[in-house]
Structure 1
Amino acid sequence: MTPHLTAASTLATIIAAVTLGYVLACTVWPFKACRRCTGTGRRRSPSGRAFRECRRCDGTGRRLRAGRWLYNHFARIHRDGTR
């Protein structure tokens, strides 16, 4: 084996492991904390005195992960196309 082939196969293995780990994370934990409200579901009003619901997460404090959103999107397309 040449050094280039060894490096390429190692890199491919690492990329496959990271991708598989992200797919597993999207399956087990489909939601993540909202970055705008840091998972509380509330944000301060412009005056700084009152709290309001976060508009980005609708006050839940959770957002759907990008990978899970893509999976849901393509599953919906497949489901609508096979009906």
Structure 2
Amino acid sequence: MNREMVVVESRTDLWADDVIPYRWVLWNTAGETLLFDRETNCPADIGDETALPEVLRRMREAGVPETDDYPGRPCA
């Protein structure tokens, strides 16, 4: 198994059913799509950008919400 697939498989929490509904959101900014963690109110880093397209594909397939608007709560 190559490194990219290891990273993808290690991130199943991003598209698996979660106790907190809609914790993860795909956020389309002006220049890129980010994985946004609504629990920490920050973009999440998957650790290997070459795996990002497959992670995004699986998240979309699982029905993870996607938005062009800021998906988090206001920052203090």
* Structure having the higher Rg: 1
TM-score, normalised by the number of residues in structure 2: 0.25
Decide which structure has greater helix share.
Answer: 1
TM-score, normalised by the number of residues in structure 1: 0.24
